[in-house]
Amino acid sequence: MGTGDRVSDCRRVRAAGSQEHGRILAEEPIGPGEVVLRLGGALRSEPTQHSIQVGLHQHLDPGPAGGPAGPWGEHPWRYLNHGCEPNARVAGLDLVAVRPIASGEEVTFNYNATEWRLASPFTCWCGAPDCAGAISGFQDLSPAERERLRPLLSDHLLTHLPARPPSAADGTGA
C-alpha cells in the first residue's frame, strides 16, 4: 500500500499512513471557506466507528477499508482524524476549511461538532490548549463547551443551542 494515495472524493487531499493509522493530508494550500472534500457513503440510522453524523438520525458511513476501490476503500475520508483545534468543519456533505490549510498539513475536524453520541468514544491527546480530553459526543459537553464549538457545529447540533441574542458587536443590537 502506498503512503500517498489521492482521495477519490477530492483531488485536494491524499490519504497517508496505514489502514490502521491513516490520516488525510492537504495536497495544496486550501483557504478558509473552501471545500476540502465532498463526503460520500451509505446513510445509516445509528453511528458506526467511522461514520459522520450528517442529520438528527443520519450517519454517513464510508464503508470498509480496502477492497476493489483500493487500499483506502471507496471513501477514504474515513481516515479524517479528530482535532480539538481543527482546520476544517463538516457543512452538509462538504468538509470546509475554517482556517488556511498548508500543503502537507493533516486535515482534521472536531468530532464533538458533528456527533451527538460517538459509537467509539476515546481520549484525545492532541495537546491543544483547549483539548477536550474525553471525546464522546456533543451530548456530554457542558453548556460552555457547546457554545465554544458553535462556529464548528453541523446544522443538526445547532438546534441544541439557544439562539444567540443580537449584540452591539455584530451591529444588530441596541
Q: Tell me the CA end-to-end span of the chain in Å, nearest whole number.
A: 60
Q: Residue 88 and residue 68: Cα distance in Å, rounded? A: 29
pLDDT tens digit string along 53-93?
Answer: 999 999 999 887 766 656 566 788 889 999 999 999 999 99
Q: Residue 141 and residue 138: Cα distance in Å, rounded? A: 5
pLDDT on residue 3 = 46
pLDDT on residue 167 = 57
Q: Residue 51 and residue 49: Cα distance in Å, rounded? A: 6
pLDDT tens digit string along 4-63?
Answer: 455 555 678 988 887 778 899 999 999 999 999 999 999 999 999 999 999 999 999 988
pLDDT on residue 2 = 43
pTM above 0.75, yes or no: yes
Torsion of the alpha carbons at 31, 27, 70 and 3, rounded to the nearest 10: -130
Place of cell 478558509: 32
pLDDT on residue 1 = 34
Residue 107 has pLDDT above 80, yes or no: yes
Domains within the chain, CATH numbers bracketed: 5-163 (2.170.270.10)
Among 18, 41, 21, 25, residue whose Cα is nearest residue 108: 25
